[in-house]
Amino acid sequence: METQGSIGDWTTCSADPHYRAAVLDLLGALAYGELSAFERLADDAKLAPGLADKAALARMAAAEFQHYQLLHDRLAEIGADPTEAMTPFVEPLESFHRVTAPSDWLEGLVKAYVGDSIATDFYREVAVRLDDDTRDLVLRVMGDTGHAEFAVDKVRQAITENPRVGGRLALWGRRLMGEALGQAQRVVAERDALSNLLVGGARVAGFDLVEVGKMFNRITEAHTKRMSALGLAS
């Protein structure tokens, strides 16, 4: 992820209506993503093979809901309607979940780990172009809830017990990567304010579509490392 100096606080930056619109899009997308993550983890808890696993996922789901609440409250604080801000991102995210519905517990773990990590990488890339207040909030809600370590442990254990599982989950991980990147690119392309923030607009001199390509390359490289951590080929 590239680094960049402060562009100011929210009060200063939000005087630009294009910047304000981009941040509302960003927070709306994040808020719905966190709400969706809460629902997914709660559903995954139902499939957990044991009580300890069920409780662990329930704790993670609760943490995701707390992140959603922070974003909801921030949208209301800056004069936006949280529901209105989230609505444009409901269909794209639900579409992603429809085409990547896991068939079992392990696929659900890999999906949450891979999908959430790709989203985290994307939002952290965007965060370097944000005002101080918004950047701090984005980085806070992108913090790991413990799911990464949990998923890695469980998937590695499953592969050790049955090595044939690895091939199936590796294919699943590649599919998830393609679908997640495609979804992110579609959302950016369809939301003018958000795409202008990513390509810099008047605020970030020299940042262009080539840099957007480099950003997605960095996200892909991070995915490869995570698949390796799971014991899977990317």
Please tell me which of 71-75, 160-164, 229-233 the model is most confident about, judged by mean pLDDT: 71-75
Global pTM? 0.85
> Which residue range(s) make up the domain with 39?
10-229
Give per-residue pLDDT as tens, 11-38. 999 999 989 999 999 999 999 999 998 9
Question: Is pLDDT of 146 > 70?
Answer: yes
What is the Cα–Cα distance from 142 to 177, expressed in whole angstroms? 19
Q: Look up residue 154 and give its two tokens.
A: 């469980």
Q: Is residue 21 part of a domain?
A: yes
> Does residue 22 contact residue 128 with C-beta atoms inside 8 Å?
no
Taking the CA atoms of residue 127, residue 132, residue 136 and residue 139 in that order, the dihedral angle to the nearest 10 degrees is 10
> Does residue 10 contact residue 74 with C-beta atoms inside 8 Å?
no
What are the C-alpha distances in Å from 169 to residues 105, 112, 124? 11, 13, 26
> Does residue 108 contact residue 176 with C-beta atoms inside 8 Å?
no
Q: Is residue 234 part of a domain?
A: no
| Total domains present in the chain | 1
Question: Is pLDDT of 51 > 60?
Answer: yes
> Does residue 73 contact residue 67 with C-beta atoms inside 8 Å?
no
Question: Is pLDDT of 184 > 70?
Answer: yes
* Mean predicted confidence (pLDDT) in 155-160: 91
Q: Is residue 75 part of a domain?
A: yes
Q: What percent of the chain has pLDDT over 90?
A: 37
- Give the pLDDT score at 31: 95
CATH code, domain carrying 207: 1.20.1260.10
CA-closest candidate to residue 181, choices 213, 149, 155: 213
Among 12-16, 164-168, 198-202, which is the least confidently predicted range?
Answer: 198-202
Tokens 């809600």 label which residue?
Answer: 141
Q: Is residue 172 part of a domain?
A: yes
Tokens 């014991």 label which residue?
Answer: 231
Q: Is residue 115 part of a domain?
A: yes
Question: Is pLDDT of 75 > 90?
Answer: yes
What is the Cα–Cα distance from 15 to 224, expressed in whole angstroms? 40
